[in-house]
Amino acid sequence: MRTILTYIAIQSLMLGLDLNGISALKGWTMLQEGPVKIEWREYQGFPISRAEKMIDHDMHSVAKIIQDLDRYPIIFERVTKTKRLDSNIVHVMLDMPFPFAGRDYIVQYSIEQSERQWTFSFFSVEHQEGALESGMVRLDNAAGLWVLKSLSAKQTLVTYTWNGELLGNFPDFGLNKAWVTQGSEVLKWLDEALSI
């Protein structure tokens, strides 16, 4: 019995924060209504942020950009580097505005797709090749979820949900502004990448 309980405890630690069921939760606090809707709520003790926008591109084109992790430094301006550590594990490094230290995280991701919806979910894992670089703060609880819903042949509702915890030297009083900035920037850069 002790062996089974130990196995379950280890598995739960390896899975990290899972946001897959969060879309159905109520009680979100609105931070911005438009042009990108930004909300947040607490979930399992973490501040979870959500950005949503309708994009005038088909779902498959949007999905192709999101799953192109190797091009994130080109698509998303705050991403300075990505490194694949395994087939579905990636190390992501982010630039933060001065005077804050950069952030990084290592996540495992999965993709689920149907004819009308596409979901890309990710959560933190440890990996022996994911060394923390000098001047970076590791986001050990990083987790997120991209949900794409096809509204028509040329329109997709994009919802990006992420753990808004920033750690390090980032002050709590600045989190709401940081979440609005991050959500707005990410969806703006995604839309721009689709328009090239």
Sorted by where each begins, the domain ranges of the chain are: 2-194
pLDDT category at 47 given cuts 50, 70, 90 is very high
- 79, amino acid identity: V
pLDDT category at 96 given cuts 50, 70, 90 is confident
Length of the chain: 196
Q: What is the pTM of this model?
A: 0.89
Instruction: Please tell me the predicted confidence (pLDDT) of residue 196.
Output: 83
Instruction: Please tell me the predicted confidence (pLDDT) of residue 15.
Output: 57
Residue 176 burial (10 A CB sphere; 0-12, 13-18, 19+): middle
The per-residue pLDDT for range 74-85, each reduced to its tens digit, is 999 999 999 999
Q: Which residues pair with 124 in a beta bridge?
A: 107
Instruction: Please tell me the predicted confidence (pLDDT) of residue 101.
Output: 87
Q: Select from 34, 53, 50 the least CA-distant residue to 42.
A: 50
CATH node for 2-194:
3.30.530.20
Q: Under a CB-based contact definition with an 8 Å cutoff, are residues 185 and 88 in contact?
A: no
